[in-house]
């Protein structure tokens, strides 16, 4: 099997997302190939169940994971359930433990990786790193918005591109990345602005993280001004 770098994989994911932009509506959707799945890699796979939530917005990241927390229950079974005469001493008691609740904003650190341009597109990884002392999960799309120096949003909310939605389990210190891309304004002719920061909201959270933007001008209006997001994957996208 030929090995490829994370940068090559990231570019391939983002290029695939750009190819189907014409199929999107303004509200986007959680398109997944073959349905949600759990993956391994830089981050370990999650074990908790997941449900699909509502569309993303600037204030709230869009995930499909439930925050069930860690719960413990007791289930009693018998080798002969229909036999009421089976002695209680022969029955088996099992303890069921459900773990891996979602990562909360306070447990995460956000950053923006280097641009990986290609095919007239500017492609940046939005990276969330688990800074807490426990393992937790992220799933779905982040919320994102460009801000000027006064904190005013520049341009409309980014739109979601189709992608495979997976639950990424983050051990302490591990990261997940989501792609942010837009057409190069010099090629598209879109009206631009230079943001001071990027507001990032983790999936299913309301509290955002602010990251200094060093990526230069971004499209905010006019032709080809849409900014697109792809869902989180394990690693940093580097």
Which of 188 and 109 is assigned the larger pLDDT? 109
pTM score of the predicted model: 0.62
Q: For the chain, which residues make up each domain, given as ranges?
A: 6-67+102-234, 69-100
Q: What gap in Å lies between CA 170 and CA 138, rounded to an integer? A: 8
Q: What gap in Å lies between CA 178 and CA 236, rounded to an integer? A: 9
Mean pLDDT of the chain: 73
pLDDT > 70 fraction of the chain, expressed in percent and rounded:
58
Question: Is residue 58's pLDDT more than 70?
Answer: no
Q: What gap in Å lies between CA 146 and CA 157, rounded to an integer? A: 9
Which of 38 and 12 is assigned the larger pLDDT? 12
Q: What gap in Å lies between CA 83 and CA 88, rounded to an integer? A: 11
pLDDT-derived band at 59, boundaries 50, 70, 90: very low
pLDDT tens per residue across span 36-51: 444 433 333 333 333 3
pLDDT tens per residue across span 90-107: 333 332 333 469 999 999
Phi-psi sector, 142: left (phi>0), alpha (psi -120 to 50), beta = beta
Which of 235 and 81 is assigned the larger pLDDT? 235
């Amino acid at each position: 099997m030929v090995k490829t770098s994370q940068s090559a994989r990231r570019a391939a994911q983002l290029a695939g997302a750009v190819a189907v932009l014409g199929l999107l509506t303004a509200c986007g959707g959680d398109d997944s190939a073959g349905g949600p799945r759990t993956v391994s890699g830089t981050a370990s796979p999650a074990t908790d169940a997941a449900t699909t939530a509502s569309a993303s917005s600037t204030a709230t990241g869009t995930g499909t994971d439930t925050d069930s927390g860690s719960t413990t229950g007791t289930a009693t079974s018998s080798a002969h359930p229909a036999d009421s005469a089976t002695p209680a001493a022969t029955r088996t008691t099992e303890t069921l433990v459900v773990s891996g609740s979602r990562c909360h904003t306070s447990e995460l650190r956000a950053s923006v990786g280097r641009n990986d341009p290609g095919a007239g597109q500017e492609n940046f990884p939005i990276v969330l790193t688990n800074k807490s002392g426990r393992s937790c999960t992220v799933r779905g799309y982040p919320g994102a918005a460009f801000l000027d120096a006064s904190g005013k949003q520049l341009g409309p909310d980014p739109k979601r591109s189709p992608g495979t939605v997976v639950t990424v389990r983050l051990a302490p210190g591990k990261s997940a990345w989501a792609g942010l891309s837009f057409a190069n304004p010099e090629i598209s002719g879109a009206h631009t602005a230079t943001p001071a920061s990027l507001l990032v909201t983790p999936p299913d959270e309301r509290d955002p993280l602010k990251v200094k933007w060093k990526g230069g001008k971004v499209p905010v209006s006019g032709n080809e001004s849409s900014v697109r997001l792809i869902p989180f994957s394990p690693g940093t996208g580097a």
